Structure 1
Amino acid sequence: MLSRERSTKVFRLALNFSSLLHAHGSSTGQSLPITKQALTTLLQSCSSHPSLLKQLHALLLTTGLSIKNALITQLLTSLTLLGDMSYARQLFDEMHKPRPFLWNTIMKGYVKNGIPDKAVSVYGKMRHLGVRPDPFTFPFVIKACAELAELWAGLGMHGHVVKHGLEFVAAVRTELMIMYVKFGELGCAEFLFGSMVERDLVAWNALIAVCVQTGFSSKALQSFREMGMAGIKPDSVTIVSALSACGHLGCLETGEEIYEFAREEGIDSNIIVHNARLDMYAKCGDMDKAMNLFDEMPQRNVISWSTVIGGYAINGESEKALALFSRMKNQGEQPNYVTFLAVLSACSHTGRVNEGWQYFNFMAQSDDKNIQPRKEHYACMVDLLGRSGHLEEAYNFIKIMPIEADPGIWGALLGACAIHQNIKLGQHVADLLFELAPEIASYHVLLSNMYAAAGRWHCVEKMKSMGYIPETDSVFHDVEDEEKESTLSTHSEKLAIAFSLINGSPKFPLE
C-alpha cells in the first residue's frame, strides 16, 4: 500500500505524464491510448531521461498496469543503466515475488555502478527468501566479491557455485578465474582455467586482460604465447592486452613483434589497438615513435590525445605535453579527467602553479562530471604546490578538500617535505600516514631519509626502532653505516643500468 503523501505525489506525476502521452500522440498524428504497447514504446523513448521514467512509473501505478511484469522489468533495467540505483531498489522492493531475472538485474546494476557490497547483500536476501539462482546470477555476484577484495567472500561464493552445480558454466568459471587473479591467487586461477571444458577465445582474453590489470604482466605474456601454441587465433582484444603488458614491463621490442604478428595475421588494427601502441611507446619512453604514430593515425579520440599528453608528462617533456594540450583544444577536442590529470602533472613538473590552479578551478566549477576533480587530481595539485615549495598552501588545500585525503594525497605532501627539507611538517604528515597506511614502507623510508639529510641520526635510530632497518651487510665499502645507507640508494640503480646495457638491444632505449 502507498502512503497518503506518496499517493498524492504519484498522482501528480501521473497527471504530468498523461500530458506527455498526449503530446507523443499529437506529434505522430495518431491517438495513443494508455495500453501496454503504448507504454512499452514510451519506455524505450524515455530510457535516458530519469524524470520521465519516474513519471511513467507513476502512470503505471495509477492505471493498474504496474502488474505487467514486462513493463516493470523494462523500467527497472532503464533505471539501473542510468545509475539511479536508489529508485531502482525502491521499485524492486515493491515487486511481488520477482523472478530470478529481476534479482540478476538489480545485482548487475549495483556492480556496474560501483556498489558491490549492495550486490552481495541482495544475493543474501535472494537466498534467504529461497529464490534459486540461475547460471546468470553468479557472474554478477562473483564480480562483486572480486571488487570487495575479500577472499573469504569469494571462497564462500565459489562454494555456492559448486553447491548449485554451476561450476562448469563457462561464464561462471571465467568470472571465478578473474576473481582469483585479482586476489593474487594465480594457482587457483590456473587450475580453473586449465580444467575448463572448452577454453575459447573469450576465456583466453579474460585471463590475459585481468593479469595485465592486476600487475601480472609477465603471466599475461606467457598466456599469450600459450594461447598461440594451443591453436587459438588472437583478435584485436588480445593484442590490446598483450601490448599493454609490454608497456607495463618496458618490453618495447616484444611489443613491436606482437604488433607485427597481428598485421601479418590480418587482425584488425582499429583505434583501440593504436591507442594501446601509443600507451606502450609512452611507458617505454619512446615518445618519438608515439608522436609519429599519433600523427599517422587516420582517426583519434580523447584517449589518443590523453595518452600522448600523459606520455610527454611522465617522460619529463612537460612543455611538449602542454603544447599538445593547446593543440587539442584548438582542434575542438573535448578533454576528460584523464587529460586534465596529465596536464596537471605537466604543470607540476614545470612549476606552473598559477596555470595549474586555472585548470583545476575550471574542473571544479564544471557541471560536466567527466572532468570534475577526483582524488588523483587533488593529489596532483598537492604535488604541484609541494614541488614549488608552497608546503603550507598544500597542507591547507588538503584540509579544505571536499573529499577525504587518502595515503596517496598525504604521500605527495610528504614527498614534497622531503624535497624541501621541511622536517616539522614532514613529521606531522608522516604520523598521519603511519596511522592510515602503516604497511607502506616507502613512507618510513622518506622520513628516515629526511632525518639523515638533516644530520639527525638520533631520529634515524628511532625510525630503525619502529621497524625500518636498511640492509647494509652487503655494502663492502670501508665506511660507516650511515654512509652505507646513503650509498644503497644509488648502488642498485647503477646495477639496473648495467644489467640493461648488457641485455638490451642497441636500437631500444633503457627503461
Structure 2
Amino acid sequence: MYFKMRHPRYLPTLPSPPNPYHPLHYLSDLHYPSTTSSTAPDSAAAAATRLHSCSDPLELSQIHAFVLRRNLLHLSFHWNSLMRGYLRLSIPSASLQLFLHMTRAGTYPDHYSLPIAVKAAFTTFSFSIGHQLHSVAIKHGLSRHQFSESALISLYAKAGDFILANQLFDENPHRNLGSWNALISSYAQAGHSSKALSLFTHLRRIGEIPDEMTLVSIASACGTLGDILLAEQIHGCAIQARTTLDTKLSNSLIDMYAKCGRTDLALKVFDRMPIRDVSSWTAMIMGLATQGNPTFALELFRRMKEEGRVAANHVTMVAVLSACANAGLVEEGMRNFEAIVEGRVKGVEATEAHYGCVADMLGKVGRVREAVEMVEGMRWPASAVVWGSLLGHVRSTGR
C-alpha cells in the first residue's frame, strides 16, 4: 500500500468555518426547550428532521449548536447529517472540521461519514487530507465499501493521479457500479473521453447495466469526441437500459447531439421531454447558438420566457449572448446584456463570460474599440481568452 496507517487523531487541524456560521457563535443566543433527558427521543427526532430539510447555513449552525448542547453528537447519525448538511450548503471545510472532531470524540467513522469527508476533501482540493482519510478508511475496514471506494477513486482522479485511482479500482474484483461510475465520470471530466468510453465498453461487455450517472458521463465523453455514430449507440443504450429518460439524462443527450453537430436530433430529445428544467433550455439554446442556427436559438429563448415555467440562469444568458454574436444581432445582444447589468434578469449577475460574449459580438461587426473599452471597464482583469478573442478581431479588421 502507498500509505502508512495513521490514527485519526493525527488528521491535521482544519480551518474553522467562517465565523458567522460557526456553531458555537450562536450558543448564547439560542433558547432550548426544557426536557428531563438530554437525549429525549423527541429532541433527537426533531433535530434529525431539521437536518434533512435545512437549506440555510445560519439555520444549520443553530441546529449544530442545539445537538451539541443536547449531547446528541455521540450518535454517528447526527455527525453524518451535520457533515452532509455543511457539504450540501457548500461549506466543505466545516464538514472536514466535524470529521476531525468526531474522531477525537471517540466516535468511529462509518461507511456514510467517510465518503462525506472524502468528498469534502476533494471539493476543497485538500488532497493531502484525502490521503490521510484513505488511511483512516483502511484502518476501520471501510476502503472496500462501495461508497468509500467510489469516493476515494474520485478523490485521486480529481487530483490527477489516475494511477492510484485505477489501482484502487483494479484491487477490488467485486467492485460495484458506483466504482465504475466514479472512474468513468472522472475520465470524462478530465477530458480523457476515449478512456471513459473504453471503460464503458468493458462495463457493458461483462454484463453490467449502466445507470443514469454512467450514461450522463458517457454522453459527455461522446460529445467531446463529436462521434455521431457513437452518440446514436449511446442513446440506444440509454433507451435499452431505462424505460423512460429522466431530465438529467435527456439534458446530457441534448448536449451530446449538439456537440456532434446534430441539433435536429437534439431537438427531438428536447421536444419529447415531459419536464424541462433550466439546463434543458440552456443546452438546447447553446447548441443552436454554436452550431449554425443562432436565430432559432433566440426564438427558443423567447419561447422559454413566454412559457414562464423556467427562469434563465447565468449560463442561459451566455448562450443567448453567444447567439446574438453569431447572428450579428448587436442591438438585441446589447438589450440582453443591459438587462443583466441592470439586474432585470433575476438571480443573474454580469460575469466575465457575459462581457466576453458582448466583446466578441462587437468585434465581429468591426466595433473593436468599443469592445476594448468594455473589457477594460470590467471590475476584474480580463482573461487571456477574452484578450485573445479581441486580438483576433483586431487582426481581421486591421484596426
Q: TM-score range by the shorter chain?
A: 0.7 to 0.9
Tell me the secondary structure at the aligned position of residue 250 of structure 2.
Answer: helix
Whether 1:88 and 2:60 are equivalent positions in the alignment is yes
* 8 Å contact from structure 2 (residues 312, 345) kept in 1: no
Query: Within 5 Å, which residues of 2 pair with 1:438-457?
Result: none
Greater Cα shift, 244-253 or 73-82: 73-82
Query: Within 5 Å, which residues of 2 pair with 1:111-260?
Result: 111-196=87-172, 198-260=174-236
* 8 Å contact from structure 1 (residues 120, 145) kept in 2: yes
TM-score using structure 1 length:
0.62
Q: Where does residue 38 of structure 1 map in the other structure?
A: none
Could you tell me how far 1:156 is from its partner in structure 2? 1.8
Q: Where does residue 294 of structure 1 map in the other structure?
A: 270
Whether 1:340 and 2:343 are equivalent positions in the alignment is no
- Cα distance change of structure 1 residues 213 and 354 upon mapping to structure 2, 3 Å threshold: same
TM-score using structure 2 length:
0.77
Q: Which has the larger radius of gyration?
A: 1
* 8 Å contact from structure 2 (residues 130, 155) kept in 1: yes
In 2: Cα distance, 1:141 partner to 1:299 partner: 34
How far does the alpha carbon of each residue in 1:199-251 deviate from its partner, in whole angstroms, 9 at most, with x for none?
Answer: 22333233323332332222221111111222212234433332221111112
For residue 61 of structure 1, what is the amino acid of its counterpart? Y
In 2: Cα distance, 1:344 partner to 1:72 partner: 51
Higher relative contact order (CA 8 A, sep 6+): 2
In 2: Cα distance, 1:191 partner to 1:391 partner: 50
Unaligned runs of 5+ in 2: 1-28
Whether 1:410 and 2:383 are equivalent positions in the alignment is yes
Q: Where does residue 77 of structure 2 map in the other structure?
A: 101
In 2: Cα distance, 1:124 partner to 1:346 partner: 49
Could you tell me how far 1:187 is from its partner in structure 2? 1.8
* 8 Å contact from structure 1 (residues 77, 105) kept in 2: no
Q: Where does residue 391 of structure 1 map in the other structure?
A: 371
In 2: Cα distance, 1:180 partner to 1:385 partner: 43
In 2: Cα distance, 1:118 partner to 1:381 partner: 39
Could you tell me how far 1:253 is from its partner in structure 2? 0.9
Could you tell me how far 1:299 is from its partner in structure 2? 5.1
In 2: Cα distance, 1:163 partner to 1:305 partner: 47
Q: Where does residue 336 of structure 2 map in the other structure?
A: 359
How far does the alpha carbon of each residue in 1:312-336 deviate from its partner, in whole angstroms, 9 at most, with x for none?
Answer: 1122432221122122223334233
Whether 1:61 and 2:32 are equivalent positions in the alignment is yes
* 8 Å contact from structure 2 (residues 211, 241) kept in 1: no
In 2: Cα distance, 1:242 partner to 1:280 partner: 9
- Cα distance change of structure 1 residues 64 and 355 upon mapping to structure 2, 3 Å threshold: farther
Seq. identity, %: 32
How far does the alpha carbon of each residue in 1:464-506 deviate from its partner, in whole angstroms, 9 at most, with x for none?
Answer: xxxxxxxxxxxxxxxxxxxxxxxxxxxxxxxxxxxxxxxxxxx
In 2: Cα distance, 1:261 partner to 1:245 partner: 15
**How many residues get paired?**
361
How far does the alpha carbon of each residue in 1:313-365 deviate from its partner, in whole angstroms, 9 at most, with x for none?
Answer: 12243222112212222333423313222112222334544433433444452
In 2: Cα distance, 1:421 partner to 1:65 partner: 77
- Cα distance change of structure 1 residues 126 and 386 upon mapping to structure 2, 3 Å threshold: farther
In 2: Cα distance, 1:265 partner to 1:118 partner: 39
Could you tell me how far 1:268 is from its partner in structure 2? 3.6
- Cα distance change of structure 1 residues 353 and 69 upon mapping to structure 2, 3 Å threshold: farther
* 8 Å contact from structure 2 (residues 54, 60) kept in 1: no
How far does the alpha carbon of each residue in 1:21-68 deviate from its partner, in whole angstroms, 9 at most, with x for none?
Answer: xxxxxxxxxxxxxxxxxxxxxxxxxxxxxxxxxxxxx99615448944
* 8 Å contact from structure 1 (residues 341, 377) kept in 2: yes
Greater Cα shift, 105-114 or 208-217: 208-217
For residue 57 of structure 2, what is the amino acid of its counterpart? M
Could you tell me how far 1:301 is from its partner in structure 2? 4.0
